Amino acid sequence: MFNPISAAFKKAKQENRAALLTYTVAGDSSKKQSLDILKSISKNADILEVGIPHNTPVADGSQIQTSAYRAIKNGIKMNDIFKIIKDFKNLNKKKPIILMGYFNMIFQYGKKNFLNKCKSSGVNGLIVVDLPWPENKDFAKKCKKKSIYFIQLLSPTTTEQRLKRIIRDSHPMSYFISMLSTTGGKLKVSPKNILKNYNKIKKIDPKKEIVIGFGITEKTIGKLKSADGLVVGSAICKEISRSLKHRQNPVTNVSKLVKKLKKKIL
């Protein structure tokens, strides 16, 4: 079966635009609300990244941390996360979902159990922030057997030799971290330079999709639209926090934001 992630990129290419990927934390601010957010943004987002909240995240900035702590405080558990995804997929089978998290949560669930559960609830891809290459080789193979993409992360610090090896082992989609930063940092490198790095990586194997993430907001997304795909995470988490603070409905506000983001890359 064709992985819906690849289908989403194909569709975006046909429309001559970058794919829009959103990141929200499962269970933020409640189980129901995070499902509602997924439902409402899926009209404009091409691929939905769903974060597994973790309480010692070593690569996330304050916005995503706030969302994660909020979700954990509201009692989210691993099985709830799978349920949210399954419920979403029951309504919208073709919309690709990427689960993103830290390895300890997978390790405790049991790698095999975790992948089985991913498969049965409809997860199409996985990003494991703290399971770099080559440590991830075995796990990536196991993902492949389940037709789940294991998405490799690439960074400005990744050496050229290492880039080549990672891309060689990578599945059809990889994720380029725009700059040295945790998630949600201010874009401290010019979009031009980010794209220069991006194109260098893209050349290694042009057939493979590479998305750019970290520091992408309404302001910066338009300047990066020549990439295969763009990920917006912290800006969305921030919008949820802002809505809650002003007692507004996060679902409608986030939905509006995603719509605006989409317009910028058309």
Partner 1 sequence: MKLKKGIPLIDQGNKLGFWGGKFGGNFVPETLKKPIEDLEALFNKLKNDKKFIAERDKYFKNWVGSPTRFIKLENLTKYVGGAEIWSKVVSDANGGAHKIYNATVHCLLAKQSGKKVVIGDTGAGYAGKMLSMAAKKFGLKCKIFMGAKDIARQQPNVKAMKKNGAEVIPVYSGSQTLVDAVSECMRFWVANCDTTAMCVGSTVGPAIFVRICGWSTSQISRELKVQLIDEFGSVPKKLKLYNCVGGGSSSFGFWNEFIDYDKKQCEFIGVEAGGPEKSKLHAAPLTYGSKIGILHGAVQYVNQDSDGQIKETESISAGLDYPGISPLHCFLKDTKRARYTAASDEDALNAYITVTRFENLRPSLEPSHAFSVAIKESKKLSKDTIVVVNSCGDAYKDREILKKRLGKKYV
Binding footprint of partner 1 on the chain (CB under 8 A) = 54-61, 65, 69, 72, 77-78, 102-109, 129-135, 153-159, 162, 177, 180-182, 185
Nearer CB in complex with partner 1: 153/237: 153
User: 205: how many CB neighbours lie within 10 A of its CB?
Assistant: 14
User: For residue 30, with 0-12 CB atoms within 10 Å meaning exposed, 13-18 middle and 19 or more buried, which class applies?
Assistant: middle
Nearer CB in complex with partner 1: 48/52: 52
Please say if 28 is a catalytic residue: no
- Which of 90, 96, 9, 84 lies closest to 47, judged by CA? 96
Nearer CB in complex with partner 1: 4/57: 57
Amino acid identity, position 248: Q
Distance in Å, CB of 15 to partner 1, minimum: 30
The CA distance from 93 to 33, in Å, is: 19
Distance in Å, CB of 40 to partner 1, minimum: 27
Distance in Å, CB of 160 to partner 1, minimum: 11
The CA distance from 168 to 82, in Å, is: 31
Q: Is 22 helix (H, G, I), strand (E, B) or coil?
A: strand
What one-character DSSP code corresponds to residue 184? Answer: T
Q: Residue 209's beta-bridge partner residues? A: 173
Name the residue with tokens 């089985």. 116
Catalytic residue among 28, 46, 49, 228: 49
Provide the CA 162 distance to its chain's centre, in angstroms: 22
Catalytic residue among 60, 209, 228, 239: 60
Nearer CB in complex with partner 1: 4/233: 233
9, 95, 179 from 215: Cα distances, Å: 22, 24, 8
Nearer CB in complex with partner 1: 3/62: 62
Distance in Å, CB of 56 to partner 1, minimum: 5
Please say if 80 is a catalytic residue: no
Distance in Å, CB of 226 to partner 1, minimum: 23
User: What are the structure tokens assigned to 223, written together?
Assistant: 């300047």
Residues with a catalytic annotation lie at: 49, 60
